[in-house]
Amino acid sequence: SSQNVDTRLYSSKRLAYFSISTGGFIWSIFSFHILIKVDLQEIYPTVLICYYELSEFYLDFFVYSTLVISIGIPIILIILSILAFKNVRHIRSIPREKRTNQIRSMTKKDFQLLRCLFIHNIVYIVCSVLLAIGIVYGTAINHQTQTILDKGINDFLNNFGSILHYIPYCSSLFIFICVSKAFRQELKRFVYR
């Protein structure tokens, strides 16, 4: 949606393939600690569970890295959504007759796609907030003596936040069906075939 040609070059297929490959490699290296630091922990003499190493350094690393990821991704999505929203408002503020070849115009499908992406970002941010709040709350009370109420609040925020956190990953189809008329028509054509 940007008017700058150099900025629009970032949406090429080649750069997308490179970014996905690089991101996948970095995330797999970053998550490699899970394979090393998970160990069998003995709860009772005959009961063993597979759980993270209980050293304080590793637990702090795990909590803080999860916190940075849970807060960083929604902030990046908010910033990119605001930039795209400003670009679309700039394009729509200029009447169609006054647009020259230098000003990029967008089709209805482009606007519908952007609307779907905005709603998808909103769903992701709303569903991620509770998990981030749970992580912040758990980190804040981690080194204090916890009452039953503190533990109950922490468990509720983490468990319910974890359930909500998975909703954006399965909501794309429903968002596109509800928001985009072009997507609904293409889906009808595909189903009728």
Question: Per the structure block, which two tokens stand in for 74?
Answer: 């929604």
Q: Among 114, 112, 123, which residue's Cα sits nearest to residue 181? A: 112
Q: Is 147 left (phi over 0), alpha (psi -120 to 50) or beta?
A: beta
pLDDT at 20: 93
pLDDT at 86: 83
Residues 167-192 have pLDDT tens digits of: 988 888 898 888 888 888 888 999 99
DSSP 3-state of 51: strand
Q: In the chain, what percentage of residues exceed pLDDT 90?
A: 8
Section 4-26 average pLDDT: 84
Single-letter amino acid code for the residue at 36: I
Residues 21-60 have pLDDT tens digits of: 999 999 888 888 777 777 777 788 888 888 777 777 877 7
pLDDT at 127: 86
Question: Per the structure block, which two tokens stand in for 185?
Answer: 């028509």
Q: 18 pLDDT exceeds 90?
A: yes
- Within 10 angstroms of residue 111's Cβ, the number of other Cβ atoms is 16
DSSP 3-state of 1: coil
Question: Per the structure block, which two tokens stand in for 104?
Answer: 């990029």
**What's this model's pTM, rounded to 2 decimal places?**
0.68
Contact in structure between 116 and 180 (CB atoms under 8 Å): yes
> Which residues, in sequence order, are bridge partners of residue 38?
52
Question: Per the structure block, which two tokens stand in for 80?
Answer: 């990119």
**DSSP per-residue string spanning 171-189:** -HHHHHHHH-HHHHHHHHH
Single-letter amino acid code for the residue at 137: Y
Question: Per the structure block, which two tokens stand in for 33?
Answer: 């600690």
Q: 95 pLDDT exceeds 70?
A: no
